[in-house]
């Protein structure tokens, strides 16, 4: 979306303006917007007056709550549990004793303008600041989530391996449990092929039934996880999603392993002497 | 009832069960290491220089925000007036620049009192003297970035004015030493200079502002009481002992702790299911043999013991292999998690501790033995005559 490509100028430090020689001018009553969690914490609502200041021990400035807002859910901020409020830029600058100073600018480009070219042009003349395309900032700031994502993937691989071995083992035991039945079927003249198919079908059915129950458990666990963490962090973030792709992968893996284990075990059974299966070999 | 011989009767199923236990043990081990590893790692880092208390602006943790503490000298005097306080070191963090040929490079600057600091260790050269207003310490990363070594002169600049294209402050400093900043992330280009110099660069001198203090208490026994006294004396500041810091840290890492508990419990559950299922089926297959043993006078207790030892053996073999696998996977997972941006390079997520490892091992072996309890009871309670008759037909 070329039109919407915002170019953020991130400054490596606050930027002074040469013209910024005016002493800070603060209105008698500031106007602020409180994040909903902060409003809850303070028990303050629109129209209430609060005191804000730079130091906890200071007297602070009086400010009227003009709005209470629900911030966009941000995964990077939830564990910090910080509270936010918004002020008009000149008010905050004056409060900080740093008039006409900012941390960063967001710059909108004309349709068709390339962010990379624009940042290069800006950086050529930059002194005390640096321009970055929004995409680069987004990529940089999503590093944390990429790390968490890689960790989850690694844990998932270990879990899948453990589950696969467990499933193989159970299916093998399940089929081997039918040794005597297989022996009886062989004694009564049922073909090896039919016995193999019957045992295999049974293994697939068990795996399919287990998969359905497993998917149900996963959906329930996901819902509980979301309920718990949304309450715990007081956020609307979604922590766990069971996607169709995940269901598809899990079910296919489960049935595939059931098929493999069932085939192996059934193959061993039909190749074994029925007398041995009966325990008399 | 030789457990190993019994297990070898069915090599495939035993092999699969051992593989399953191995992977679940590896998972359990990793989760035990993860559940408290980073806290221990963080604690070691915090106590590395012997300072047990951190002081920061109210409602914040050190360097968590850009908030600062005004009147640092006064605050320090209040802290030092407590007889239990041995040292109180002010610390200011600021973003600044250094000239490299005709370009500026961004650095992170620490303003310190070299006599009472907890953020760096000297690797090479010498430390700053208390009145050394022309010296600077570089991290290895900043030394490389600036191409400067011990004895070289570097120029630090700050308060840049983009419109006039000038720097309001510029200081030429001599590199006294190369240090290792304890809280830096990997490759962070940092420098340290005396606090007043850094306050000048960061425009924090007028109000004598600092980011935090580190405080050393005479003895650990008086830590809690001293922390309380400091809180009472300085109510506008956040005063945390290392224990309090760990509690805050634990709260932030609650996700990893809970994840480790959940996955650890699931691992144990899978081990129980695996061992119990395998042993139940094995016992069912050997009911005739067990009944024969009972018929010739082998006691119920011996049968129960034999089956439980078999379960324990299975768990022990799988568990031992699982520990090796767990150590390897922990290293891999640690490499992933320590890539968190901004995380101090000294922090590790998976830290082995003998006590927790021992507890995990005991829990695992007990789990294996208990998982064999149900099949063992089945074996012991099998009616001898009926089982033998059924086996004979």
B110-152 pLDDT, tens digit per residue, is 999 999 999 999 999 999 999 999 999 999 999 999 999 999 9
* pLDDT tens, N- to C-terminus, chain B (393 residues): 576 777 777 788 788 888 888 888 888 888 888 877 888 888 888 888 889 999 999 888 898 888 899 999 999 999 999 999 999 999 999 989 998 877 888 899 999 999 999 999 999 999 999 999 999 999 999 999 999 999 999 999 988 777 777 777 889 999 999 999 999 998 999 999 999 999 999 888 888 999 999 999 998 899 999 999 999 999 989 999 999 998 888 887 787 888 888 888 888 888 888 788 877 877 777 777 888 888 888 888 888 888 888 888 888 888 889 888 998 999 999 999 888 888 888 888 888 778 777 877 888 878 877 887 888 887 777 787 887 777 666
Cβ contact A154–B67 (<8 Å):
no
Interface check for B109 against chain A (CB to CB < 8 A): the answer is no
Tell me if A169 and B16 make a contact (CB, 8 A cut-off). yes
Please report which residue ranges of A82-191 form alpha helices under DSSP H. Answer: 89-95, 115-125, 134-141, 143-176, 179-187
- Residues of chain A found within 8 Å of residue B210, distances taken between Cβ atoms: none
Q: How far apart are the first and last CA of chain A?
A: 75
Domain that holds residue B147: 59-235
Determine whether the interchain pair B281/A13 forms a contact, defined as Cβ–Cβ distance below 8 Å. no
Asked if B11 has any chain A CB less than 8 Å from its own CB, the reply is: no
- Give the A window 205-264 contacts with B, CB below 8 Å: 229, 232
Structure confidence at residue B1 (pLDDT): 59
Confidence of residue A25 (pLDDT cuts 50, 70, 90): low
**A216 and A115 within one domain:** no
Cβ A45 vs Cβ A78: under 8 Å: no
What is the value of ipTM here, to two decimals?
0.76
For A159, counting Cβ atoms within 10 Å of its Cβ (0-12 exposed, 13-18 middle, 19+ buried), the class is middle
Find the closest chain A residue to B234 by CA distance.
A57
Q: Is A72 on the interface with B (CB under 8 A)?
A: no
- B225 and B131 belong to one structural domain: yes
Q: Render pLDDT for B300-346 as a digit per residue (tens, 0 to 9).
A: 888 888 888 888 888 888 888 988 899 899 999 999 988 888 888 88
pTM attached to this predicted model = 0.74
| B375 and B312 Cβ atoms separated by less than 8 Å | no
Whether A203 and A95 map to the same domain: the answer is no
- In chain B, the number of structural domains is 2
Looking at A125, A141, A157, the residue that finishes a domain is A141
Give chain A's domain count: 2
Boundary of a domain, candidates B193, B210, B235 = B235
Domain final position from A141, A171, A186 = A141
Contacts of A17 in chain B (CB under 8 A): 161-163
Which of A126, A144, A169 has the CB atom closest to B20's CB atom?
Answer: A169
Domain assignment of residue A213, given as a range: 143-277
Of A109, A141, A173, the position where a domain reaches its end is A141
Query: What are the start-end ranges of the H helices in chain B?
Result: 3-8, 11-46, 72-80, 140-146, 195-201, 223-233, 242-252, 254-285, 287-295, 300-337, 354-371, 373-381, 384-392
Residue A83 maps to a domain: yes
Strands B166-181 and B120-125: antiparallel
Burial code (b: 16+ CB inside 10 Å, e: under 16) for A33-66 equals bbbebbbeeeebeeeeebebebbbeeeebebebe
- Verify that B175 and B257 share a domain, yes or no: no
Residue B181 phi/psi, 5-degree rounding, is: -80, 120
Same domain, A134 and A192: no
The 8 Å CB, 24+ separation contacts for B221-225 are B222/B84, B223/B52, B223/B53, B225/B84
Is A79–B237 a contact, with Cβ atoms under 8 angstroms apart?
A: no
pLDDT at B181: 94
pLDDT category of residue A29 using cuts at 50, 70 and 90: confident
């Amino acid at each position: 979306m070329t039109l919407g490509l915002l170019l953020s100028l991130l400054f490596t430090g606050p930027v002074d303006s040469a013209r910024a020689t005016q002493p800070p001018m603060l209105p008698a009553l500031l106007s602020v917007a409180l994040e909903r969690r902060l409003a809850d914490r303070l028990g303050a609502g629109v129209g209430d007056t609060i005191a804000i200041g730079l130091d906890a021990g200071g007297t602070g400035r009086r400010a009227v709550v003009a709005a209470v807002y629900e911030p966009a859910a941000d995964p990077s901020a939830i564990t910090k549990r910080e509270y936010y409020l918004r002020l008009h830029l000149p008010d905050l600058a004056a409060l900080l004793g740093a008039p006409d100073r900012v941390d960063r600018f967001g710059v909108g480009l004309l349709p068709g303008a390339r962010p990379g070219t624009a940042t290069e042009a800006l950086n050529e003349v930059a002194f005390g600041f640096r321009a970055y395309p929004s995409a680069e900032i987004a990529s940089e700031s999503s590093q944390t989530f990429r790390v968490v994502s890689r960790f989850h993937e690694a844990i998932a691989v270990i879990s899948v391996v453990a589950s696969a071995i467990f499933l193989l083992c159970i299916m093998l035991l399940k089929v081997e449990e039918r040794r005597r039945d297989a022996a009886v079927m062989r004694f009564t003249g049922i073909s090896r092929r039919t016995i193999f198919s019957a045992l295999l079908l049974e293994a697939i059915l068990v795996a399919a039934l287990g998969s359905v129950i497993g998917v149900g458990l996963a959906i329930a666990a996901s819902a509980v996880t979301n309920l718990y963490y949304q309450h715990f962090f007081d956020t609307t973030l979604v922590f766990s999603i069971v996607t169709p792709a995940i269901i598809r992968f899990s079910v296919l893996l489960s049935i595939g392993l059931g098929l493999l284990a069932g085939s192996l075990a059934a193959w061993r059974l039909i190749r074994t002497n029925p007398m041995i299966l009966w325990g008399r070999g | 009832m030789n457990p190993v011989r019994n297990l070898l009767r069915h090599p495939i199923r035993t092999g699969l069960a051992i593989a399953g236990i191995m992977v679940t043990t590896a998972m359990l081990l990793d989760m035990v290491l993860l559940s408290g590893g980073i806290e221990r790692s963080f604690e070691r880092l915090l106590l590395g220089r012997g300072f047990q208390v951190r002081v920061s602006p109210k409602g914040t943790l050190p360097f968590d925000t850009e908030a600062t503490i005004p009147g640092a000298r006064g605050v320090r005097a209040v802290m030092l007036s407590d007889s239990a306080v041995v040292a109180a070191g002010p610390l200011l963090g600021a973003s600044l620049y250094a000239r490299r040929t005709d370009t500026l490079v961004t650095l992170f600057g620490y303003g310190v009192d070299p006599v009472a600091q907890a953020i760096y260790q000297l690797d090479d050269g010498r430390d700053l003297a208390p009145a050394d207003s022309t010296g600077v310490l570089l991290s290895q990363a900043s030394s490389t970035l600036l191409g400067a070594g011990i004895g070289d002169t570097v120029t630090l600049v700050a308060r840049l004015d983009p419109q006039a294209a000038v720097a309001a402050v510029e200081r030429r400093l001599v590199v006294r030493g190369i240090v290792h900043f304890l809280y830096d992330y990997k490759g962070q280009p940092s420098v340290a200079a005396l606090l007043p110099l850094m306050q000048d660069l960061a425009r924090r001198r007028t109000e004598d502002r600092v980011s935090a203090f580190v405080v050393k208490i005479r003895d650990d026994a008086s830590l809690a009481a001293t922390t309380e006294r400091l809180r009472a004396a300085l109510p506008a500041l956040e005063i945390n002992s290392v224990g309090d810091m760990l509690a805050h840290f634990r709260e932030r890492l609650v996700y990893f702790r809970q994840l480790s508990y959940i996955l650890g419990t699931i691992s144990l559950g899978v081990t129980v299911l695996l061992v119990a299922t395998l042993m139940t089926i094995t016992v069912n297959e050997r009911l005739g043999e067990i009944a024969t043993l009972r018929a010739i006078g082998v006691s119920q207790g011996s049968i129960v013991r034999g089956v439980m030892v078999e379960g324990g053996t299975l768990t022990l073999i799988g568990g031992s292999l699982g520990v090796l696998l767990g150590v390897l996977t922990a290293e891999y997972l640690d490499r992933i998690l320590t890539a968190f941006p901004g995380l101090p390079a000294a922090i590790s997520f998976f830290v082995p501790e003998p006590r927790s490892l021992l507890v995990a091992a005991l829990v695992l072996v007990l789990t294996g033995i208990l998982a064999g309890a149900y099949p063992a009871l089945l074996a012991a309670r099998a009616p001898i005559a009926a089982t033998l008759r059924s086996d004979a037909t």
